[in-house]
Structure formats: C-alpha cells, structure tokens
C-alpha cells in the first residue's frame, strides 16, 4: 500500500480506520492482513484481477473533470414545460437544505425520536399539498409525477371493483402516459386516451380517469367541464385522478372542489432545480376513505411519553416489509430531501408569495400570448396558466432554433407547432428572445388569455408555519432549529444494516450544484446535454465493469424501481420467446419486502422459498419449488450476500438450477458494498441486478431519498432495458417502455457516484469493501459473548453486516429491541436496523467509513447497555422504570424538578460520561433527542397528517 502520498489519496479519507487501527482490528480477529478477509467469499465466485477502471483521481482532479463536463451542458432558459419548469431556489434553502449535510446525510425517519426536524418538514410538505389540492390526506412524497400518476391508478384499481379501462386525458404529459402503459402491460389494464372524457366514460367501462391540469398543451379546462367529467365518472363508479401543477393550483380551484378523488403531480417548480429530470418529489393526496390504500410513506402526529406532540411515520411505515406482494406499492426510498426543499420554498414565500409568483408567471404568459396574437399567430387555447401552444405552420423548427440561438429552450411539438412555457426564472431577456424568435414584439401593457373562469375561493397555507419565516434571518433559524433536532451522519455513525450509511464526501456533493448540472431541462436538445451524456456513459461503463454485466440502465430512480425495471425485462424476455406462462417468481423468505412487491407489480406470482435455521436458503425446498413450477418459472430473486449478512456458497448451484428450468436469476444488488472489487453478480450467475447508488455508491439518503437504482443486465436482456417516449437515445426501441418520467431518472445526483468511483479507483473500491467486512467482523467479535451474532458463514465470519440476536435477552429481561434502540440514542447513536430480516434482532452495518474510535464507542455503548439489562434481569431495576424502558431521555426530563426514578439523572442523560471525548459525540457534544419515546399506536388510531393547530403545542 502506498503510504507516503496517502494524504492525497481520496480512499484514505473515505475509509475510516487508519493503517494502525486496521492492524489492531485485524489482530483482534486473528488475521494477518486485510486481503485475508476476501477468503470469506466462496472461491467459485471470487474475481481474479482488478476491476477495469481508470486510475483514481484526487478530489481536485475530479472537481475539475466534473466542472468541465458540466460546462459541456448548455442549460439556457428552460421554457419547454411538460412538467419541468424553471424555478428559483432561494439561496437560503439551497445552501441550508440541499447543500447541508445535516439534511442530506439523514436516514429515513424510522426512528422518529431523532428525526423530528425532517418529520416536521415533511408534515409541512403534506399540509402544503393537502391545502392546495383540497384533499385531506397527502403523503410524504413519491418518486416523480409520472410514477405518481401510475400509483394513483393503482389506488383506483385497489378500491374500485368495476371495469378494466384506465381513461387518460389526451392532454396527459406523454411521459406519464408511457409510465402508466408500462404498468398496465403487466397488470392487464386497458389504457385508452381520449379528448372528450365524458364521451369516453360513456363508451368504456373505466375504473379510473386521469385529468391533466393544465394540459400538456397548456390548456386549462373550466371548472364546470371538470365537474361534469367527475360527475360522469362517479356515476359509473370510476375514480377521478387529477394530475395537477401545484403552482397553478394557487390560482385554480382545487381538484377536490370539482370532485377529484386523488391528486398527483410534481413539486419540482417549488424551488427544486431541474437536474436534467430529477430527483424531484412527486406528490399524492387522497379523499377521505382512501388513506389506507395510499402508496409510500405518510407522516402523522402522535404524542411522546410525556404527552408532547411528536411526529412519526404513520400506518404504512414499512408496509412492503409486512405485506410484501400485497403491499400498496413497492416504494421504499422516495424523495425526502426534495420534498423538504419544496416545502421550505412554500414556508419561505408563504401563500401570498406563492400567489404572486404564480401571478407573475401568468402575466408573462399573457403578455407573450398578446404579442403572438398581434403578430398573427394562432394559439391552441384561450385558457392557459403558463403554457402556450402556438401554430406556426412549417416554421416550428426554425423558430425553436432561433430561440435557442437567443438563449431559450422552447418545445418543438411537431413541424407546425411550438410550445412555450413560462417559468419563475423567465425574465425579460428570455421573453424578448421568444418574441424575436417568432418575429413579434412585446408590449408590457398588453395581455390576452385567462384561467377559464376559475376563481379560487378556498384559502390555503393558513398555518403559522407558512406565515412566520419570510425574512432570511427567521428562515435560517427555522432551518437550523429543525436540523438540530435530527441525528444524521454529521453527528455520528448510523449503523443501519442493509442501508450502507457511508461517507457522502463533500467533493462528491459539490458538483450537483454546478449550473450545467442543476439547470438543464430533461427534454432539451441532446447537443446541449453533451456533458451529461458523457458522464452518464462513463458511469454506466464503470458500473458494468464493477458488476460484470454487459449493459446498464440508469433510469430507475430507486432500488425498488430498479427491481421493477429488471423484472419487467425478464417478463419481456419470456414473452418474446413465446413463454407467456412463465409468471412465477421465487423469493426467499428472508428477502427485502420490496422484492415481493415489485414482482407483483411486474405481474408475477410470488412463491416463497424457505430459509434454514442458519438463515441460508433451504436448497431442498428450492429444488422442490423449481421442480414443481418448472414450466411456469419466470425468475428467482436472491439478495447477495443474503440479507442475513452471509456469503452463501450455494449461489452458483442455485443459479444453475433456475437456469436449467428456464428461469432467470435476479440478484438484488443492494448489498454491493460487500462485493465491489471482490465478486461480480453478472459473472457468478445473475442475469440482472439493481444497485443502490444511494447505498454503495455514496449518494446520501437525504432523509429518505433521493435514490438511483440502476440495473445491469446480461446481453440477452439488453433489448428490454427501459426507454423513453420523448428521448429515443435513453433506451432500446424494443423495450416495454419507461419506469420513470425522465429519460435518465435522477440524473442530477449521478455526479456523486461518478465522483466516488473516479476517486476510489479499482484499488480503492476493493479496499473499501474489505474494510466494510473488517468493520462488521470487528463489531461482531467485540460483542461476542454479550450479544450472539445470529448468522455467520462456514468460516465463522460475516460479510459487511452482522445480526445481533436479542431474543434470548428479551426472554429473560423483557427488554426489547426497541428499548435497546432507544437507549442507544442516549449514548449518542442512531439505532441499527430493527427486526429485519429477523424479528427481535438488530442488524448492524458499520460501513468502511467509520473509524475504530467510532466502532469502539458503539461497542462500548452496547456493552454498557448489556450491563444495564443485567440489572433488570437481576431485579435491581424494575421492568417498567429503568433507563431502557424510559429511553430516550430528553433534556427536559433529565432537568425536571421532580425525579423519581431508581437511577440517577446522569445515568439517564450522560450514560457515556459527562466529558468530551477526543472526537465529537459525547460529553458536551452529546446529542439530545427532541422528544421522548413516541406512542405509535396512538398516532395510528388518531390519524393526523397535516400540521396540527398551534394551540396543541401549549403546555
Ligand atoms: C434498500 C434495499 C432495497 C430497496 O431500495 P430502495 O432504494 O429503498 O427502493 C431492496 N433490496 C434490498 C436488499 C435493500 O437493502
């Protein structure tokens, strides 16, 4: 290993343990060198030789490289529309949310006591969506508008018995229609697009009708027309979905007011950069009665042990894990960071600010419309909000080119029509450029067009949170106050098994804000997106080199979206070979819940394969299932290394058996952090895998998204990678269609993984993997004898994570995993993954980024907790009143005038000592949770999913 120049090698910054620490840890495990840990993998799957990747770059070199790539993109003013709009991210929000590690390194708020800040921000998001759409229950974000439309159709399907037709508005955004068609293909829905929806409802037995507002052409339908569509639909028992622009809704009557049952859309134009298509937060809200069928997560209000109002994820929290193929959706990672950004845009501007932004946009669109009308052009509609469709017979190409020369991207609809969409950032120069491109002149006093008689009478955003923080000082303090309530990676280790909470380095994060990456519209001409094209191509090639697959698609915008895309590829492959009957998907009982939910979405039937007592797949059961379903076998989905954190040596045999029966092997690659540089799923039996770039490849979790879930496939599945209706270059024509709204999904965060791989190089990635294995085994070893490690491989070692079995302890002491998880907060830690994949256990994944100091601090905390449990076991502390049962302890509790507990205040609040350590986290740096333990049941019984009235906070 190079040591002299090591200060300049990024991998030494990324990997936690120093050389000296590594030696100590290896010694503790009885090992000579790091490479010995590679023996934990079965010899049959170990790769020989290094990954085929370029030399590792330094941080400054990768920043230069990415800056140059970003400058090959030419954003111009984006006036293309179609669901993506120019917006101005308030700098106070950009720097203190999007670019602030306190927000972006946080995990999904499953541990609500340490997540009150982001939960409040998400509750604001839900309140904003619910107010503007008029529908009472809104979720805490979906992946994008196109998938949100498809999810809404899914809600309609689950709650409407009759009919098999989905009626789509001819005005629906083309990418939304395409994503719905992808879903429909596997689930057997019939999709019909119609201009006259009332007539179409007469003709077809529809269970759902989707109305776009404003339409793709910009047209705004009158409220009376909308009402007659929904009346007709309800008469026929169909569900009404409004795909609505949230900013337009500040002026238009709410979807609820004319009868919509569900509203969906994007919140991108609430201050979230275009990012070449994503990540952006999709939204959904539903009428009363549909809340329990909603996809995705929902934040609710409950109370803590002291009766203080507190937020938590309600109902569906982990419902795919519980309900698997019967889940309402496969959504796990969503778009929390972007939902927080959009909600803060509303907090900062308030209702009047938003309305004024909408008025200005509408005014500018009217001014452009007047100029065009005066210049002799015809507009497709009199009624519009921000978007015009202009007839320019034979001249569209020329006009769009002229606008581009003047710095504006317009939409070329066909040879005879041009689309113009005004955004918040469409300034006078941009409008002037548009006028010149058409050869007309602007008159600031003139304006034509209106909002089709909509008079929004309903108020919105009346809650104080949207009316209090309109100066930058106040806004900054609000953001700081919220993020201070949360425990993110910037405070300490988050050892969540299966989630890979590793370092998200600053050099990886910086480039996403470069204007060339941040401000590009996804449907701009490819010649203006050359930097993205090159970055995406290289990233795809590197992922191919790492996984051993032949082809990669970067379109899926979460791991579960990747599962779905991969299973759809398998489905298409079987169909192309005339094997319509191959619809059975084998899934081991230990699998991540999204696997089964994705299989159901891909139209497959799930058959469970048993696990043995040691957690490995029961090969006898597998053989029996393969035999039984030989002719209908579509695929097996296996996670490798398994969700039990073990490298099973049966993977080669398993692949052989399934392939012999004509099935395909899907290797869930979310655990790639245990493989990168050591083994390649594309070479050891997989036909397709998804990766989670937001786990292994350094994209931060953002409090529950964004994610990128690319899939790698072997050559025979390459014709079935997702494509895109508007951008043919995004995928093969032979494919089933898109799985996301944007051609390259969440392109805007791909520079993060690009930078990570570029800076690590082949050697760095291999060392990272080995260090991840070292760290997990070190923890397992240190806790041995105190907390049994549930599963280990043949050599007694685990892979990159280990499962601590608390079931025996719970039996003797009645102390639960919950108690231990909450007590860890008092010691300054985020809990490990609870009760997955085995109930009553904690799954610990430290990742390579944690130092020995932090690992020891964690092990010391766990050992101290074990001693506390012993006191409960011994009867020294009673079952209901001890530091474990009462954890976590807030500052308010510890300093309360009254203290009646059988343990001291400092044992409660400073269990790891009052003095600061050499590294932050203890003593004066101790993290205090904002609330005490939250009552989950209360929250689900009394479902409140928008900001509670302010009085409820008073003592
Ligand atoms: C995280 C994870 C997933 C789902 O990924 P999302 O991005 O959250 O959708 C699937 N499988 C496994 C094993 C995982 O750990």
**From start to end of 227-357, where are the E strands?**
239-244, 262-266, 282-286, 299-303, 309-313
Instruction: Give the pLDDT score at 325.
Output: 85
954 vs 307 pLDDT, higher one: 307
Task: Determine the distance separating the centroid of ligand 1 and the alpha carbon of 720, expressed in angstroms.
Answer: 22
Ligand 1, atom nearest to 498 Cα: 15
Whether the predicted pLDDT of 297 surpasses 90: yes
Enter the tokens of residue 234.
């309800």
In this structure, which residue's CA is closest to atom 4 in ligand 1? 559
**pLDDT higher than 70, residue 953:** no
Helices (H), 192-304: 197-203, 223-235
Same domain, 119 and 236: yes
Cβ burial of 169 (10 Å; 0-12, 13-18, 19+) is: buried
Nearest CA-CA partner of 123 in 139, 110, 135, 103: 139
Which of 48, 11, 15 lies closest to 680, judged by CA? Answer: 48
Whether 158 shows a pLDDT value over 80: the answer reads yes
Looking from the CA of residue 643, the nearest atom of ligand 1 is: 13
- 90 assigned to some structural domain: no
- Ligand 1 center–CA 880 separation, angstroms: 36
Structural domain includes residue 26: yes
Q: Which string of DSSP letters, residue by residue, matches 716-738?
A: GGGGGS---SS-GGGS-TTS---
Mean pLDDT of the chain: 95
Q: What is the distance in A from the centroid of ligand 1 to the CA of 594?
A: 7
- Measure the CA–CA gap between 241 and 572, rounded to whole angstroms: 29
Residues framing ligand 1 (Cβ under 6 A) = 332-333, 498, 558-560, 592, 594, 639, 643, 668, 670, 692, 707, 709
- Give the separation between CA 48 and CA 786, rounded to whole angstroms: 38
What is the CA(331)–ligand 1 centre distance, in A? 9
Is 936 a residue whose pLDDT tops 90?
Answer: no
Same domain flag for 287 and 141: yes
For tokens 């007469």, the residue is: 202
Token pair for 517: 């990456």
Question: How far from the centroid of its chain's Cα atoms is residue 908's Cα?
Answer: 36
The residue from 720, 735, 759 where one domain ends is: 759
Closest C-alpha to ligand 1, atom 5: 559
Q: How many alpha carbons fall within 13 Å on the CB side of residue 344?
A: 35
| Helix %, strand %, coil % of the chain (to 5) | 45, 15, 45
Cα(102)–Cα(510) distance, integer angstroms:
15
- Residue 512 belongs to a domain: no
Residue 30 lies in a domain: yes
Same domain, 105 and 36: no
Rounded Cα–Cα distance for residues 247 and 921 (Å):
42
Q: How confident is the model at residue 938 (pLDDT cuts 50, 70, 90)?
A: confident
pLDDT bin (cut points 50, 70, 90) of residue 318 is low
Q: What is the pLDDT of residues 653-695, one digit of tens each?
A: 999 999 999 999 999 999 999 999 999 999 999 999 999 999 9
Which atom belonging to ligand 1 lies closest to the Cα atom of 594? 10
Do 908 and 883 touch, CB atoms closer than 8 A?
yes
List, as one string, the DSSP characters of 39-64: GGS-TTTB--S----PPPPPHHHHHH
pLDDT attached to residue 319? 65
Contact present, 883 and 907 (Cβ < 8 Å)? yes
Q: Give the CA distances from residue 639 to residues 414, 489, 795, in Å, rounded to whole numbers and listed in that order.
A: 46, 26, 20
How far away, in angstroms, is 560 Cα from ligand 1 center? 6
* 913 belongs to a structural domain: no
Note whether 308 and 318 are within 8 A (CB). no
- Of 346, 379, 399, the residue that ends a domain is 346
Q: Is the pLDDT of residue 828 over 50?
A: yes
Which residue, 613, 628, 500, is CA-closest to 105? 500
- By three-state DSSP, how is residue 897 classified? coil
User: Could you tell me if 53 and 160 lie in one domain?
Assistant: no
In this structure, are 118 and 15 located in the same domain? no
The model's confidence at residue 933, banded by pLDDT at 50, 70 and 90, is very high
Same domain, 703 and 588: yes
What backbone torsions phi and psi does residue 874 show, to the nearest 5 degrees? -80, -5
Atom of ligand 1 nearest to the CA of 331: 9
Residue 3, pLDDT score? 42
Strands 282-286 and 262-266: antiparallel
Residue 209 half-sphere exposure toward CB, CA atoms < 13 A: 34
User: Is residue 649 domain-resident?
Assistant: yes
Whether residue 371 contacts residue 310, with contact meaning beta carbons closer than 8 Å, is answered with no
Q: Work out how many domains the chain is built from and give that number.
A: 2
Strand pairing partners for 109? none
Specify whether the CB–CB gap between 2 and 9 falls below 8 A: yes
Query: Which atom of ligand 1 lies at the shortest distance from residue 707's CA?
Result: 7
Q: Each residue of 900-923: pLDDT tens digit? A: 999 999 999 999 988 776 666 778
Contact partners, residue 372, CB within 8 Å, separation at least 6: 379, 388, 390, 438, 440
Q: How far is the CA of 78 from the centre of ligand 1 (A)?
A: 34
CA torsion, ordered 8, 13, 14, 16, to nearest 10 deg: 140
CA of 561 to the centre of ligand 1 (A): 9
CA–CA separation, 785 and 856 (whole Å): 16
Q: Which domain-ending residue is among 729, 759, 789? A: 759
Q: How far is the CA of 286 from the centre of ligand 1 (A)?
A: 26
Kindly tell me if the per-residue pLDDT of 1 is higher than 70. no
172: in domain: yes
Residue range of the domain that includes 137: 101-346
| Span from the CA of 668 to the centroid of ligand 1 (angstroms) | 8
934 C-alpha to ligand 1 centroid (Å): 26
Pocket test of ligand 1: the residue of 560, 564, 837 to mutate, having most ligand atoms within 8 Å of its CB, is: 560
What are the residues facing 633 on neighbouring strands? 584
Structure tokens at 488: 């993110």
Residue 307 shares a structural domain with residue 193: yes
Q: The CATH number of the domain where 713 resides is what?
A: 3.40.640.10
Would the pLDDT of 5 be above 50?
no
DSSP string, 793-831: -TTS--SS-EEEE-HHHHHHH---HHHHHHHHHHTT---
Other C-beta atoms closer than 10 Å to the C-beta of 164 total 14
pLDDT at residue 884 greater than cutoff 80: yes
Following DSSP, what letter does each residue of 140-162 receive, concatenated?
S-BS-HHHHHHHHHHHHHHH--S
Mutate to test the pocket of ligand 1, among 499, 590, 592 (most ligand atoms within 8 A of CB): 592
Within a domain: residue 590?
A: yes
Residue nearest ligand 1's atom 2 by CA: 670
What mean pLDDT comes out for the span 8-24? 95
- Tracing tokens 């309530």 back to the chain, one arrives at 485
Task: State the average pLDDT over residues 574-584.
Answer: 98
Cα(639) to centroid of ligand 1, in Å?
10
Q: Of 335, 559, 707, which is best to mutate to test ligand 1, by the most ligand atoms within 8 angstroms of its C-beta?
A: 559
Atom of ligand 1 nearest to the CA of 561: 9
Residue 860 CA, distance from chain mean position: 33
pLDDT of residue 794: 76
Residue 405: cis peptide before it, omega within 30 degrees of 0: no
The band of 331, judged by pLDDT with boundaries at 50, 70 and 90, is very high
Q: How far apart are CA 176 and CA 81, in angstroms?
A: 14
380, burial (CB in 10 Å: exposed 0-12, middle 13-18, buried 19+): middle
Residue 94 and residue 610: Cα distance in Å, rounded?
A: 48
Q: Give burial (CB, 10 Å; 0-12/13-18/19+) of 113.
A: buried
pLDDT band of residue 57 (cuts 50, 70, 90) is: very high
Pocket residue to mutate for ligand 1, from 316, 321, 498, 501, most atoms within 8 A of Cβ: 498
591 CA: nearest ligand 1 atom:
13
Q: Are residues 24 and 123 in the same domain?
A: no
Q: What is the mean pLDDT of residues 194-202?
A: 98
Are the C-beta atoms of 495 and 846 separated by less than 8 Å? yes
* Residue 78 β-bridge partners: 409
Q: How far apart are CA 605 and CA 514, in angstroms?
A: 45
Q: Tell me: pLDDT of 635 over 60.
A: yes
pLDDT at 2: 41
Shared domain for 43 and 108, answered yes or no, is: no
For residue 695, the ligand 1 atom closest to its alpha carbon is: 1
Neighbour tally for 923: CB within 10 Å: 14
* Residue 639 alpha carbon, nearest atom of ligand 1: 13
Give every CB contact of residue 132 below 8 A, 6+ residues apart in sequence: 246, 249, 250, 254, 460, 461
Give pLDDT tens digits for 846-865: 999 999 999 999 999 999 99
Instruction: Quickly count: other Cβ atoms within 10 Å of residue 627's Cβ.
Output: 11
The more confident residue out of 701 and 953 is 701
Alpha helix segments (H runs only) across 379-471: 396-405, 428-438
Give the tens place of pLDDT for each residue, 691-712.
999 999 999 999 999 999 999 9
Within this chain, do residues 203 and 55 fall inside the same structural domain, yes or no? no
Interval 759-791: pLDDT, tens: 999 999 999 999 999 999 999 999 999 999 998
793-814 pLDDT tens trace:
878 889 999 999 999 999 999 9
Q: Which of 496, 594, 642, 703 to mutate to test the pocket of ligand 1 (most atoms within 8 A of CB)?
A: 594
Q: Which of 550, 587, 545 is nearest to 567 (CA)?
A: 587
Q: Are residues 106 and 55 in the same domain?
A: no
What is the share, in percent, of the chain residues with pLDDT greater than 70? 97
Judged by average pLDDT, the poorest of 23-32, 87-96, 387-396, 938-947 is 938-947
Residue 176 and residue 48 share a domain: no
**DSSP one-letter code for 96:** I
| pLDDT for residue 4 is more than 70 | no
């Amino acid at each position: 290993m190079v040591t002299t120049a090591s200060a300049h090698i990024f991998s030494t910054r990324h990997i936690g343990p120093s050389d000296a620490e590594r030696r100590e840890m290896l010694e503790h495990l009885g090992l000579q060198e790091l490479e010995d840990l590679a023996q934990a993998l079965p010899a049959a799957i170990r790769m020989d030789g290094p990954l085929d990747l370029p030399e590792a770059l330094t941080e400054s070199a990768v920043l230069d490289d990415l800056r140059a790539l970003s400058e090959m993109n030419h954003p111009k003013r984006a006036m293309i529309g179609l669901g993506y709009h120019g917006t101005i991210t308030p700098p106070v929000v950009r720097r203190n949310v999007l670019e602030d590690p306190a927000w972006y390194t946080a995990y999904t708020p499953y541990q609500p006591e340490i997540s009150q800040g982001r939960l409040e921000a998400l509750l604001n998001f839900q309140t904003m969506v619910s107010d503007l759409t008029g529908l009472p229950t809104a979720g805490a974000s979906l992946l994008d508008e196109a998938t949100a439309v498809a999810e809404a159709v899914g809600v309609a399907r689950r709650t409407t018995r009759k009919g098999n037709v989905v009626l789509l508005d001819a005005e629906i955004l083309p990418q939304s229609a395409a994503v719905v068609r992808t879903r429909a293909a596997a689930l057997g829905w019939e999709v019909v697009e119609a201009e006259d929806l009332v007539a179409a409802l007469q003709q077809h037995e529809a269970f759902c009708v989707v109305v776009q507002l404003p339409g793709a052409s910009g047209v705004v339908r009158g409220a009376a027309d909308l009402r007659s569509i929904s009346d007709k639909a309800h008469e026929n028992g169909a569900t009404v979905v409004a795909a609505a622009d949230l900013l337009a809704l500040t002026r238009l009557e709410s979807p609820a007011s004319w009868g919509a049952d569900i509203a969906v859309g994007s919140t991108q134009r609430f201050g979230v950069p275009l990012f070449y298509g994503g990540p952006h937060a999709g939204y959904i809200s539903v009428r009363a009665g549909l809340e329990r069928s909603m996809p995705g997560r929902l934040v609710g209000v409950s109370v803590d042990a002291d009766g203080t109002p507190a937020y938590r994820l309600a109902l569906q929290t982990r419902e795919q894990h519980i309900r698997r193929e019967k889940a309402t959706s496969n959504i796990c990672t969503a778009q929390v960071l972007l939902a927080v950004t959009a909600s803060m845009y509303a907090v900062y501007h308030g209702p009047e600010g938003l309305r004024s932004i909408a008025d200005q946009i509408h005014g500018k669109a009217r001014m452009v419309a007047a100029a065009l009308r005066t210049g002799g052009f015809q507009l497709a509609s009199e009624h519009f909000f921000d978007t015009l469709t202009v007839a320019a017979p034979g001249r569209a190409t020329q006009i769009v080119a002229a606008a581009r020369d003047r710095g504006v991207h317009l939409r070329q609809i066909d040879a005879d029509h041009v689309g113009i969409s005004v955004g918040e950032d469409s300034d006078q120069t941009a409008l002037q450029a548009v006028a010149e491109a058409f050869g007309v002149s602007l008159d600031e006093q003139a304006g034509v067009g209106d909002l089709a008689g909509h008079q929004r009478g309903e108020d919105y955003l009346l809650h104080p949170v949207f009316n209090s923080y309109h100066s930058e000082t106040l806004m900054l303090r609000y953001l700081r106050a919220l993020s201070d309530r949360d425990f993110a990676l910037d405070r300490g280790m988050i050892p969540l098994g299966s989630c890979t909470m590793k370092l998200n380095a600053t050099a990886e994060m910086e480039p996403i804000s470069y204007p060339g990456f941040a401000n590009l519209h996804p449907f701009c001409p490819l010649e203006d997106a050359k930097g993205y094209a090159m970055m995406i191509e290289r990233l795809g090639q590197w992922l191919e080199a790492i996984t051993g697959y032949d082809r990669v698609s970067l379109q899926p915008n979460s791991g579960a979206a990747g599962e779905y895309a991969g299973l759809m590829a398998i489905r298409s492959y079987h169909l192309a070979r005339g094997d319509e009957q191959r619809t059975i998907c084998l899934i081991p009982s230990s699998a991540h819940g999204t696997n089964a939910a994705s299989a159901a979405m891909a139209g497959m039937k799930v058959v469970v394969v048993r696990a043995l007592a040691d957690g490995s797949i029961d090969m006898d059961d597998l053989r029996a299932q393969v035999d039984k379903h030989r002719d209908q076998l579509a695929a097996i989905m296996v996670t490798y290394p398994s969700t039990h954190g073990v490298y099973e040596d049966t993977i080669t045999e398993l692949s052989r058996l399934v392939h012999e029966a004509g099935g395909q092997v899907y290797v869930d690659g979310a655990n790639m952090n245990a493989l990168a540089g050591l083994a390649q799923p594309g070479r050891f039996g997989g036909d397709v895998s998804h990766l989670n770039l937001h786990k292994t490849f350094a994209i931060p979790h953002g409090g529950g998204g964004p994610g990128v879930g690319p899939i790698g496939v072997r050559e025979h599945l390459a014709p079935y990678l997702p494509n895109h209706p508007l951008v043919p270059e995004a995928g093969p024509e032979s494919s089933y269609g898109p799985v996301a709204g944007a051609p390259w999904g969440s392109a805007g965060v791909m520079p993060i993984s690009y930078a990570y791989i570029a800076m690590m190089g082949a050697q760095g990635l291999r060392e990272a993997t080995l260090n991840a294995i070292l760290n997990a085994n070190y923890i397992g070893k240190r806790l041995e004898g105190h907390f049994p490690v549930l599963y280990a491989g043949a050599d007694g070692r685990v892979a990159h994570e280990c499962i601590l079995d608390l079931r025996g302890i719970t039996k003797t002491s009645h102390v639960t995993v919950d108690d231990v998880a909450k007590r860890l907060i008092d010691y300054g830690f985020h809990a490990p993954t609870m009760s997955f994949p085995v109930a009553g256990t904690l799954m610990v994944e430290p990742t390579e980024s944690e130092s020995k100091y932090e690992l020891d601090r964690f092990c010391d905390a766990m050992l101290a907790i074990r001693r506390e449990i012993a006191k409960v076991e011994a009867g020294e502390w009673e079952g209901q009143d001890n530091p474990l049962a009462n954890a976590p302890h807030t500052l308010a509790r510890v300093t309360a005038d009254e203290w009646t507990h059988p343990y001291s205040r400092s044992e409660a609040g400073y269990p790891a000592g009052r003095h600061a350590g050499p590294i932050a986290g203890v003593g004066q740096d101790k993290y205090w949770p904002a609330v005490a333990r939250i009552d989950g049941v209360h929250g689900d019984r009394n479902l409140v999913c928008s900001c509670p009235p302010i009085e409820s906070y008073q003592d």
